[in-house]
Structure 1
Amino acid sequence: MTEYISITVFERPFKHSAYFNKRLRTTGGRYILNTHNIEINEKQYDAFGENAVIDIIKHELCHYHLHIQGKGYKHRDKDFKVLSSQTGSPRFCSAIESYEDRVRYIYKCSNCGAKYARIRKVNINKMFCGHCKGKLIEKNVFKNVNLIKKRVENINSLFIMNH
């Protein structure tokens, strides 16, 4: 499929390997500079189907062809932005899990009571409330997968600020 997309969309051959990588979690795919191979997140196919994988392949082929040609292949480079728009390659893929599903930590302001849901742990000695500059307290830590249903219900109420 990758070879076909490369020829039809980019009018250039793809001479390396493209394959699914089950270990990818936070990205739709990646182009590996050293080997010129493309890895695709299998979960994207499971969740969104063939069209999502085609979009990911087109995006990674932009990196591939620009790198092979010695042009700017990074997201911030003008060459990448131009080729991406010419080929209809999306900048991002759909997230498999929503932000609410990925939240692991909930912090609460000790002063005003504002709540913050975060995926990563924050240093409460350096961070403070964005509303009143109060001290943050770690309220909940979700580690158990069975708590996901409760978490979603709780987090939906968190985004409504309580003062």
Structure 2
Amino acid sequence: MLVAKRTSVWRTRYEVSQDGHLVANWDGSLWRSGGDLNVAGQAFQVRGNAWGSRFSMLDKAGGVVAAADRVGRKRWTVTAGAVTYQFQRASAWGHAQDLYSDGRKVGSVRRTSMWGSDVAVDLPGVPLPVQVFVLGVLVTMWQAQAAAAS
């Protein structure tokens, strides 16, 4: 399981650790949907469309490594290579998102507390860069929802 701790009050920066060891960083963009992530020394860019419903994770050469579609809907997907991961909002009132495979819940992404901004990512079988991509997409979505609500 990954634990993402917000490191900045002013920006959407997270340090992602696994078993107490730093494995990745997420730095959300201030002016557009998406951000930058670094996973085990590899840099990626995450870019979203104007509505925040589609995101792409790009490598240094600009190639698409993963893509998220229908973000913000009850059911949405992430495609990485030939694999498509199915996500579903856990409830209409919360922020938690569950990962499904063959109709069964197999993982989740949740805030660690109701008031905090730290996130627990439990997505077994999903490659580490894709897990951090999902984290970045959800943090961006949650931030947009909070801004729209205020």
- State the TM bucket, normalised to the shorter chain: under 0.3
Identify the structure with the greater helix proportion: 1
Query: Which has more radius of gyration?
Result: 1
TM-score, normalised via structure 1 length: 0.22
